[in-house]
């Protein structure tokens, strides 16, 4: 085993093994490890892999598309995908599988993008299917889509910077000079180290129009032209103006997408033909199957995936008499047929990740595109100046062509022709080289006149290009003209329909649940049964476990919402319809397990919530009683568990609801009882109130139960009635000690 040795601060890394000596292991502080090993990796993932840049591409996308461009696949025929993958490895050495997956996502066949950049042939899978795998690269073919002309527009004119590839054998563009804001058009997702990016796609025409409006007026209303995100899978977007505005301004937020469906009355079938972009066919079918098996959805007899070459189709066979609108509303609530999409517009700007809203993205893209156009104009200007310089030299010589011929004929050495022309006409070497290469057939009047006219035209063009460079307004006009050209050449109707929340017909979930009278039974150990009235009339004695017995019985309806109080200061909210009908001969459902209660948590009682308008009385062992409204347990969300449900100063004994003022009987462990009117208890607003004193208890005694007077078993009520509280209570007489199961009813 190597022996440990303290590190020498002047040494870095591990010492080399020396023959005859044991290896030395140097200790390294964790901070140094993070700085030297982890941070470079993290930055590499952020900058070079996961986060898109202002042109809308990650490095893997850019390398693939540029390789295809250099292969001549913009106009040529398709080639095997394996050929493209192999060529791309010159720029992207991450393996053929990763490169091919990138191509699949960019392809028309996959349908992952609104504006696909790869014109594909063969099986490229589908973005809406988890299990529909794409074919191997040796079976498929591809070329660049027509819109890629806008990605590589004038890339040879120094519009963008180029950098060496990983081994320095070739050059590749740092960004692609896209003539439209592809960063907003192409949906993109990336997970880096410590950050992520989630960009939704927008309609190409809407993005171009919005960019034009922004260039004209940076304070324009973006929502007038950029209506909402648009997705390749279609569906319906539930439009919330406030949330969309928040996304546009901050780059963060979310919205909901719904599937599109139609009903075939003749076949009694629902056909789903468009689904949310964020889900898959398999996820939907799995969830529907789960709901059918659990009995929560009983209206479906069968569901199949009938997707074919015509597109996506999920067929749902309905049982006789089922309302398709109500069923789909139910499935929209409980399955991914209605799903959410979260936005996180995190984009690399000059190598730094920035979270930006749409307006800021358009600002950065416009500034970057202005630089691209200016570089292109400057490139054209320099080329024209060079040509004008050559023609000016030619012009001097053509004015006296006989002299030029004489100089050339009188020169003995070929190497002295250019210097002699320079001396004879006062031109520079470049001009003299150009003149010396003129063909003999071009020494005529027509050629001379054409060159003079070309000189005049070049001078005008140079002046115009210089004016463009000095005029930001003209540069912006070039950008807007190119955007209009993109809109004209590549029409793109919306695929995702926009609907407003108030257009969605709401169906009360209660209306979908069958309602009928039931009786609830709760045992001391926490077993719960819901038994319908016909079953209860036909059944015999209730069955309980050994050493268990009845604790609570009350009548209600199948649609009732129940509040289950526990001894850990928690309340669980459930619907009676969530429980299957039981029988007297069964033990029932063990609530602590069914509700996933905390270890050691037990059930105290069950209360019917109804519309949360009733009052509530909570009785504690220390002799106090608290009164407040059931609305303290009402929540806007579907929270199943409420913590801090009541005061923690003393254990809870029981709870009673109050529709109106009633007389209540309370009992202590000393054998005393008190009857009081609920009007003596002042209502509080907080559910954690400690309450007011009801009974004066001796140190070793406690309050053990409470019930409505008519359910208490007391015969001589006058003996125990109190006009004010707190009181010690009167000792119970034998006639008032009748054992009777308490019933907590509203």
Q: Tens of pLDDT along 571-622?
A: 999 988 888 888 888 889 999 998 989 888 999 999 988 888 889 999 999 9
Structure-token pair, residue 173: 């563009």
Of 598, 720, 723, 611, residue with least CA distance to 659: 611
Contacts 24+ apart (CB under 8 A), 130-133: 130/280, 130/281, 130/282, 130/283, 131/282, 132/307
Catalytic pick from 38, 139, 166, 516?
Answer: 139
> Mind listing the pLDDT tens digit for each residue in 281-299?
999 999 999 999 888 888 8
Catalytic: 720?
no
Phi-psi region of 34 (alpha: psi -120 to 50; beta: other; left: phi over 0): alpha
Domain locations in the chain? 3-42, 51-178, 260-336, 362-489, 509-736
Q: What is the pLDDT of residue 636?
A: 67
Q: What is the residue whose two structure tokens read 């299957």?
A: 580
Please state which architecture CATH assigns to domain 51-178.
Alpha-Beta Complex (3.90)
CATH number at 260-336: 3.30.1360.40
Residue 274 phi, psi dihedral angles, 5° rounding: -145, 135
Question: Residue 569 in contact with residue 645, Cβ under 8 Å?
Answer: yes
Below-70 pLDDT ranges, the chain: 1-24, 506-512, 636-638, 738-746
* CA distances for 343 relative to 253, 260, 298, angstroms: 5, 22, 35
Q: What is the pTM of this model?
A: 0.70
Q: What is the pLDDT of residue 506?
A: 67
CATH number at 362-489: 1.10.268.10
Strand boundaries in 203-251, DSSP class E? 236-239
Q: What is the pLDDT of residue 191?
A: 86
Beta-bridged to residue 557, according to DSSP, are 517
Q: Which parts of 91-202 fold into alpha helices (H)?
A: 96-106, 148-151, 182-185
The fold for domain 509-736 equals Neuraminidase (2.120.10)
């Amino acid at each position: 085993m190597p022996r440990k040795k303290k590190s020498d601060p002047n040494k870095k890394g591990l010492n080399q093994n020396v023959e005859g000596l044991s290896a030395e292991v140097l200790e390294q502080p964790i901070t140094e490890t993070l700085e030297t090993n982890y941070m470079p990796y993290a930055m590499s993932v952020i900058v070079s892999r996961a986060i898109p840049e202002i042109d809308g591409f990650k490095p893997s996308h850019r390398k693939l598309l540029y390789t295809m461009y250099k292969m001549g696949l913009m106009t040529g025929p398709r080639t095997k995908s394996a050929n493209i993958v192999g060529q791309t490895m010159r720029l992207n050495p991450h393996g053929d599988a990763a490169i091919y997956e990138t191509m699949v996502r960019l392809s028309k066949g996959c349908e992952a993008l609104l504006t696909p950049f790869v014109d594909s042939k063969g099986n490229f899978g589908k973005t809406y299917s988890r299990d529909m795998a794409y074919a191997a690269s040796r079976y498929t073919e591809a070329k660049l889509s027509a819109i890629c002309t806008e990605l590589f527009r004038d890339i040879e004119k120094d519009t963008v910077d180029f950098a060496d590839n990983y081994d320095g054998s070739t050059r590749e563009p740092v960004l692609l000079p896209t003539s439209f804001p592809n960063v907003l058009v192409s949906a993109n997702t990336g997970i880096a180290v410590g950050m992520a990016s989630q960009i939704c796609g927008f309609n190409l025409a809407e993005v171009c129009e919005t960019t034009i409006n922004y260039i004209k007026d940076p304070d324009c209303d973006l929502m007038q032209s950029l209506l909402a995100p648009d997705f390749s899978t279609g569906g319906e977007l539930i439009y919330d103006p406030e949330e969309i505005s928040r996304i546009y301004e901050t780059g963060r937020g979310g919205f909901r997408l719904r599937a599109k469906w139609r009903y075939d009355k003749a076949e009694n079938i629902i056909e789903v033909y468009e689904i949310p972009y964020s889900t898959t066919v398999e996820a939907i079918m799995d969830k529907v199957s789960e709901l059918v098996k659990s009995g929560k959805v009983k209206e479906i007899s069968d569901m199949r995936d009938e997707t074919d070459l015509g597109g996506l189709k999920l067929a749902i066979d309905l049982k006789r008499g089922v309302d398709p609108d109500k069923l789909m509303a139910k499935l929209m609530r409980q399955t991914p047929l209605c799903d959410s999409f979260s936005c996180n517009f995190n984009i690399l700007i000059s190598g730094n990740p920035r979270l930006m809203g749409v307006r800021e993205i358009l600002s950065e893209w416009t500034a970057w595109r202005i630089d691209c156009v200016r570089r292109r104009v400057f490139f054209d200007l320099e080329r024209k100046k060079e040509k004008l310089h050559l023609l000016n030299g030619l012009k001097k010589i053509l004015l006296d062509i006989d002299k030029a011929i004489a100089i050339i004929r009188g020169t003995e050495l070929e190497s002295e022709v250019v210097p002699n022309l320079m001396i004879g006409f006062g031109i520079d070497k470049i001009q003299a080289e150009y003149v010396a290469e003129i063909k003999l057939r071009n020494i005529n009047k027509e050629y001379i006149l054409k060159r003079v006219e070309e000189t005049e035209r070049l001078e005008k063009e140079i002046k115009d290009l210089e004016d463009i460079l000095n005029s930001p307004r003209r540069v912006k006009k070039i950008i807007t003209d190119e955007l209009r050209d993109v809109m004209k050449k590549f029409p793109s109707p919306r695929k995702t329909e926009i609907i407003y929340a108030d257009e969605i017909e709401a169906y009360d979930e209660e209306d979908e649940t069958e309602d009928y009278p039931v009786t609830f039974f709760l045992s001391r150990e926490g077993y719960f049964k819901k038994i319908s009235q016909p079953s209860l009339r036909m059944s015999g004695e209730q069955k309980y476990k050994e050493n268990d017995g009845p604790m609570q019985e009350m009548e209600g309806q199948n649609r009732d919402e129940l509040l289950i109080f526990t001894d850990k200061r928690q309340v669980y909210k459930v619907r009676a319809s969530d429980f299957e009908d039981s029988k007297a001969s069964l033990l029932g459902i063990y609530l602590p397990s069914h509700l996933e209660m905390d270890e050691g948590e037990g059930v105290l009682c069950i209360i019917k919530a109804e519309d949360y308008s009733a009052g509530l009385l909570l009785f504690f062992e220390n002799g106090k009683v608290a009164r407040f409204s059931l609305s303290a347990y009402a929540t806007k969300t579907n929270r199943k568990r409420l913590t801090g449900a009541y005061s923690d100063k003393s254990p809870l004994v029981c709870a009673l609801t109050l529709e109106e003022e009633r007389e209540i009987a309370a009992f202590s462990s000393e054998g005393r009882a008190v009857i009081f009117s609920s009007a003596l208890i002042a209502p509080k607003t907080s559910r954690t109130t400690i309450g007011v004193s009801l009974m004066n208890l001796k140190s070793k005694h406690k309050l053990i139960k409470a019930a409505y007077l008519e359910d208490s078993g007391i015969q001589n009520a006058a003996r125990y009635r109190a006009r004010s509280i707190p009181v010690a209570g009167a000792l119970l007489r034998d006639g008032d000690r009748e054992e009777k199961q308490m019933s907590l009813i509203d």
